[in-house]
Each structure stands twice: as structure tokens, then as C-alpha cells.
Chain A
Amino acid sequence: MATNARIVSYARAFAGLFMRDLYVLRREMFPFLIRVAMNPILFLFVFTYIMPHMSGGATLSPTAGSGAGPSFSTILLPGLMAVGIMFSGIAAVALPLAQEFGITREIDDRVMCPLPTGAVAIEKICFSAVQSAIAAAIVYPLAYYIPSTKPITHVTSWPFLIAVVILASLTSGALGLTIGTTVKPQQIGLIFGVVVMPITFLGCVYYPWALLDKMPILQHGVLLNPIVYMSEGLRGALTPALPHMNAALVLLMLLVFLSLLTWLGVKGFLRRVIG
């Protein structure tokens, strides 16, 4: 086949896979929305609405006594968006893959598309990124309107915001692919305890990275966590008044993690589907 014809053929197969995923997502919109919205709604409701309203709640509030400091809701907004993005990657790729490898083997048919097998895995990352971006768009208004003290947001650079959201979304898909192809299907439930919870809590979601400066080991250790760059990138893009990492560094590190996780994920995918 001539190179051009081959590229057209690949593109159509890729588009077909993408359309199938969109179609299924559209039909399962309601569970998707619940999944995306529940975590931030509860988190915001408890920590930024209930607690500030409790009698004596001021002492319980994470930002108690900080007075002129940033409100907790401002810190949380980019962090919860990052969690939404990351979590969608796991839910859109890792969990379905575990099921397909373990039980249904539906993946065997998808692999028979007239497309290099690695591209089937890349399609999963791309489609997952769409879900992550939607998740980010859903979390933003929740994080803005639920807290009793409104967060202060300000976009200084739209291109940077868009770049961060796209890179973070793709990285999450690649993370989901890596997890879904590495972990044994019967152990996928463990992933929440072993991977998702630690990278969330140590991902500068609930605190800016710069404020870890009193704990240098922790501050340097968390740099291995891709969620850190998602949270910090969104912090830089949406709440620039807070301390945040350098924009160029964030983009670079997201690219590094995207490349690394895509490589690992595609390798794992090929190992699982090609005997």
C-alpha cells in the first residue's frame, strides 16, 4: 500500500475507534457525571462549606488563623481539578482494560483493526484525555460555587491553561494505560489503596508545593509524582496569586511523564495482547 493510502486507512480506523468510544460515553453520560462530580462535591461541601459553618469550626478549618492568607477553597480548586483529571484517566483506561484482559477479551477484537497495535493503545490515551478534560470542566464550577468563601481565580495565560489541561489529561490516560496493563486484573481493586490514594494525597492537591519547604525530603520526594505537576500547573494557570511552580518546568515535566508513561503503557499493552 502506498504511504498516503496507508495513513488514510490508519486515520479512518483510529477515528472509528474514537467514534465508538464517544458513542458509548454519550450513552453512559449519567454514570460518568456522577463519577466525576461526587468526589469534589463531597470534599468541597465538607471542607469548604460545613466546616467554616460549624460552631467553633474555625479551629477545625485547615486554614484556621491564616487570616490574610489564601482561602482553602482557592488552594483546593486547582488541586481538585487535577484529581478529577487523574481519576478520569484511571477510570477510563485502567479499570476497563483490567476487565477486558481478565474477563471479556473484547480487546482482542479491537486489536484486529487495520492499525498498528500500539495505535489502539494510543487511542485509549487520547479518548481518556477527552474524558479528563470534561472532568476538569465539571470540577471548576463546583469548586467555584460550593465553598462559602469563593476562591480567587484569574487566568493570565489561556494558552498555558490549555496546554496544562491537555498535557495533564494525556498524562492521566497514559498513567491509566500503564496501570491497566501492568496490574493483574484480579488486583485492580488494590490500585486505589496502593496508587491512587498516595499520589492524590502526596500530589500537592490540598497544599501548594512551595509550602512544603520546611520538609525538604518530602518536598523533593513528591517531585516523582506526576500529579504534583498537574496541580501546580493548574495553580499557576488559574490561581496565580498562590505560590506555584515555574510554568516552563511544569510543562517540561508533564511532557517527560507523558512520554515515559506512554512508552511503558504501550509496551505493556503490546505484551498483553500479542502472544
Chain B
Amino acid sequence: MGTENGHNAIVSIRGLRKTYDGKPPVRAVDGIDLDVHPGEIYGLLGPNGAGKTTTISICTTRALPTAGSVVIDNIDVVKHPSAARRSIGVVPQYNTLDRSCTIWENIHFHCLFFGFSRAEARARTQQLLDQFHLAEKANSYPAQLSGGLAQRVQIARAIAHRPKVLFLDEPSAGLDPQSRIAMWEIVQGLHREGITVVLTTHYMEEADELCNRLAIVDHGRILVEDTPAALKNSVGAQTIYELDLHEPVPDLQQKLGMLSGVTAVEDTPRGIRVLARTCDGLIGDIVSTAQSSGLRDMRVTEPTLETVFIRLTGRDLRE
């Protein structure tokens, strides 16, 4: 099974489409192909409504595609959903913890659902509670937990049956900055253990920080796919140099514009702004050119995924 799909890939999506009936019908996913390699953290970055959640829902057997295939760990998830569920762990956007059970019971019963013996389930639950620093909360109920803790429990539960791939849908939605960083550390820890992680996000910092590779998604299609660094160096991504000058110097603009890699030079109230493709040695050239013209200060802004997204779509990620 799945040999026609990308070999070596642990998650392989081909020609995925999903149209929701309605007036007019909504084309949520419009032809997505992608491969996720074992052990990597793969991100789907895009604005709300781009089709990320639908893609994850199909991968995790909670939605049926209109067309296309998803193969995870050599199992076709559309044809064999219950077998595929053994290979996947899911943390959805919202809290799905069992409100009638304590944290300990939530994880324990999850293990039993996946065929663990009681002793195995007990041992695994204890291990996860320790690993995720949840031991103190073992007897609390989900309603008593903060958003960050509830999410930590959800991640612990999702990996309790040792899935090969963990899907995180908007993991930092609704988290405070501290919880978000704690969550990143957890995901990086799982990555070191060798779990493949697929996550969706509309926070470019998150995609940049966490993902080995990512796809920028909009209107149900993948616009580009690469490592965060390569994406930032790609399609018109620019480093911005803000120069503060003592006073305006007439021919400085022209001189800076001649440097190789520089694509635009603009006046600013405090001096000059240089936009340039990322290339080695440029910063030295800019400084030496501007120094004789009374350079007071300089700030460098590296290209971000947000600038990449804007270049690709003409829109802001959060619009």
C-alpha cells in the first residue's frame, strides 16, 4: 500500500480535496500534495480558513475527503481508519478531555482503549504524568486546569499509545506566551524522542521556531513548501537595514543603491532604509558606505515568514 506515494514518507498526501456542501459549496482543501518524513516537525502555516484544520481532520480520520488519498505509516487512513488510529495521536484545537474523569483516568482509559493491560496502562500513565510534570494534578478534573495545563494533558494523552505521528491543530491558540513556550519545549522534546509531528498554526514565530519544514497554505492550496530558513531566503524575502543618520546626505542613497543585493533604498524621517536580498558581507558594505556620511545607528530586520506570506498572497497572515 502507498508505494505510489512518496517512499520514505511517514505521512503522504496526494491530490487531497474536500468540498463542503452548501450554497455555494465551500472548497476547503483544493488539491494538496505533501510528504512528511519520519522524525520531522512539519508545519502547515496559513491564515484561518486556509484549509489546515480540514487537512488535519482528514489525516486523523475525522473527516472524509472528496478526493485524494492520505497514507500514514503505510496505512490508507480513508480505507482503514480504525487501523490508522493506532499510528496517530491527535490534539485538536479545543479541549476534548473527558470532563467526568480525572487527569490520571483520562490517560489511563486512553491506554485501555488502545489495548494496554491494566498494569501497562498504569505504568504508562504514571510515566507520562512524570514526563509532563503533571503528577501533582493527577487527581484534578479537567475543569480545574488552566488552558496550558489542559493542553499538556491532551498532548500526554495523545501520545499515550505511542503513535508514530502526532497531529497538533493550532496548538498555541488561546495560550498565554509562557504556556506557548512550554508547549514548544514539549514538542521539541517529543521530536528528540523521534515522534513525527505535524502541526498547523497561523503564528509565524511558532512555525519558524518549531518546524523543520513547512508549507504555506492559502485557499486550500500549498503555495510553497521548504525549511523556514530557505523560505525566508526565497521569493523576494528581504532583509531590512534601517540607518539613522546625523543629517541627510544627498548622494548616499545612490551609493547604497549600487551595492550588490540591494533592491531598494528609501528615505525615512531619521535617515535611510535599505531593502536587500539576504547575502553575505552586505552589512559591512552598507556600514562602510554610510560611515563617512554620519551613521549614528543601524537596525537589521531579518526576513520573516510573515513577509514571505505577504509577498505570496498580498495579504497579512492574520487578515
Contact = CB atoms under 8 A, between A and B. Distances in A.
A213 interface: no
Interface stretch (B86-94, B182-190, B216-224): B86-94
Q: Tell me if B's interface is mostly helix, strand, loop or mixed.
A: loop
Nearest to A28: B100
A20 B82 contact: no
A187 to B, nearest CB: 21
A108 B92 contact: yes
A16 B298 CA distance: 63
A122 to B, nearest CB: 13
B302 interface: no
Nearest to A24: B100
Contacts of B94: 105
A218 interface: no
Interface string A82-122: 00000000000000000000001111110111111100000
Contacts of A23: 101, 105, 109
Nearest to A12: B115
Contacts of B62: 108, 111-112, 273-275
Contact of A106 (B82, B86, B96): B96
Interface residues of A, number: 32
Contact of A20 (B61, B112, B114, B115): B112
A104 B99 contact: yes
A223 interface: no
A103 to B, nearest CB: 10
Contacts of B98: 20, 106, 109
A105 B113 contact: no
B64 A109 contact: no
B63 interface: yes
Given A105-B92, A274-B62, A274-B63, A114 B97 contact: no
Contact of B83 (A6, A12, A107, A117): A6
Contacts of A47: none
B109 A19 contact: yes
The 10 closest A-B pairs by CB, nearest first: A275-B63, A16-B112, A16-B113, A12-B115, A109-B96, A20-B109, A113-B113, A24-B100, A114-B85, A108-B96
23 contacts: A12-B113, A12-B115, A13-B115, A15-B112, A16-B109, A16-B112, A17-B113, A19-B109, A23-B105, A27-B100, A104-B95, A104-B96, A105-B94, A109-B90, A109-B97, A109-B98, A113-B85, A113-B114, A273-B62, A274-B61, A274-B64, A275-B54, A275-B64
Interface of A: 1, 6, 8-10, 12-13, 15-17, 19-20, 23-24, 27-28, 104-109, 111-117, 273-275
Interface of B: 20, 54, 57, 60-64, 81-83, 85-86, 90, 92, 94-101, 105, 109-110, 112-115, 157
